[in-house]
């Protein structure tokens, strides 16, 4: 099993006629993702990688009513409308690759999705992969292999470096989720931890956060209720106050969003803290074996 996406998940691509979307549609199909349709307003009737393009998400749903996921690659100014269109169509998992979405647009889209019980990953996410089954997004598939460790991270680079480290230690991933680097995200750490806690094929979870925002602190109380071990790593410990670390959301303001505050909250609620990235595989091993 896996979370969010598997080999049976029928998926569409919004903005499929864009250069990057078309390229990664090819890669997703080659990996085994069931891309059944694409959407670009005004481009209906085209084909991209033998995938039919429609003008609206509703037209896709009329043709394939069991579509369960979409990836969104449209420019930032169109992202809110694309998310709302997918939510209104009832698509359960929405993966938003678009970055730098206006904050008020994302707040509105997130609230509407939450009201409808829809999971939105991103914006500015590299995507979601259930190794050996399906990929939605632009993660480098060579760094992932099937296994029983769930991973969730803000950063795309950290997502695949984390998977590669686990692989080299003899582990693999059930699903790897890139939450995204924008300041306002759809799903947060707690949402994904809940999914992994209920997944019978995930034995432990590694979460990798970063300075800025409060998503890690907000997830900490739920970790205290989990039966599965959670190994946590926070990057950016040496960043000075007010320094942005790569992502728009990775900026420390005052005492909020510091590495120290995140680590303290996570440790207090039972998370196993990795001080360095290289410690993670061994901490996973100890958590699973007790040795």
Task: Assign 151 to helix, strand or coil.
Answer: strand
CA distance 211 to 207: 13
pTM, two decimal places: 0.93
To the query of whether residue 104 is one of the catalytic residues in this protein, the response is no
For residue 246, what pLDDT band results from cuts at 50, 70 and 90?
low
- 106-110, 210-214, 247-251, range with the lowest pLDDT: 247-251
Is the pLDDT reported for residue 90 higher than 60?
yes
Q: What is the mean pLDDT of the segment spanning 38-49? A: 97
Element spanning 166, H or E: helix 156-168
Percentage of the residues of the chain whose pLDDT score is greater than 70: 93
Which DSSP string corresponds to 19-45? HHHHHHHHHHHHHT-EEEEEE-TT-TT
The answer to whether residue 249 scores a pLDDT higher than 60 is: no
Residue with tokens 């896709």: 60
Cα–Cα distance measured from residue 103 to residue 107, given in angstroms and rounded to the nearest whole number: 6
148-192 pLDDT per residue, tens: 999 999 988 999 999 999 999 999 999 999 999 898 999 999 999
CA distance 258 to 291: 31
Q: Is the pLDDT of residue 214 over 90?
A: no
Distances (CA, A) of 60 to 18, 55, 56, 246, 278: 18, 9, 7, 36, 45
- Is 70 exceeded by the pLDDT of residue 255? no
Q: List the catalytic residue out of 24, 133, 154, 247.
A: 247
Domains of the chain: 1-124 (3.40.50.720), 140-291 (3.40.50.261)
Give Cα 137 distance to the centre of its chain.
Answer: 9
């Amino acid at each position: 099993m896996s979370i969010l996406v598997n080999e049976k998940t029928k998926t569409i691509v919004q903005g499929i006629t864009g250069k990057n979307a078309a390229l990664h549609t090819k890669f997703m199909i080659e990996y085994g993702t069931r891309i059944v349709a694409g959407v670009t307003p005004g481009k209906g009737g085209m084909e991209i990688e033998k995938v039919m393009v429609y003008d609206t998400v509703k037209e896709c749903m009329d043709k394939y009513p069991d579509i369960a996921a979409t990836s969104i690659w449209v420019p930032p100014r169109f992202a809110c409308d694309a998310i709302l269109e997918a939510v209104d169509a009832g698509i359960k998992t929405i993966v938003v690759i678009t970055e730098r979405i206006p904050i008020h647009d994302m707040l509105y889209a997130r609230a509407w999705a939450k009201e409808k019980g829809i999971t939105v990953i991103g914006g500015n996410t590299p995507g979601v992969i259930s190794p050996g089954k399906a990929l939605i997004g632009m993660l480098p598939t060579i760094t992932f292999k099937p296994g029983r460790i769930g991973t969730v991270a803000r950063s795309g680079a950290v997502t695949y470096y984390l998977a590669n480290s686990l692989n080299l230690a003899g582990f693999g991933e059930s699903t790897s989720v890139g939450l995204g680097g924008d300041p306002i995200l759809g799903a947060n750490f707690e949402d994904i931890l809940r999914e992994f806690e209920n997944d019978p094929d995930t034995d432990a979870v590694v979460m990798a956060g970063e300075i800025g925002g409060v998503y890690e602190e907000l997830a900490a109380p739920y970790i205290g209720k989990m039966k599965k071990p959670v190994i946590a790593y926070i990057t950016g410990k040496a960043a000075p106050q007010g320094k942005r670390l790569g992502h728009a959301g990775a900026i420390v303001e005052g005492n909020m969003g510091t590495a120290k505050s995140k680590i303290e909250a996570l440790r207090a609620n039972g998370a196993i803290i990795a001080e360095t990235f290289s410690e993670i595989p061994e901490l996973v091993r100890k958590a699973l074996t007790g040795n």
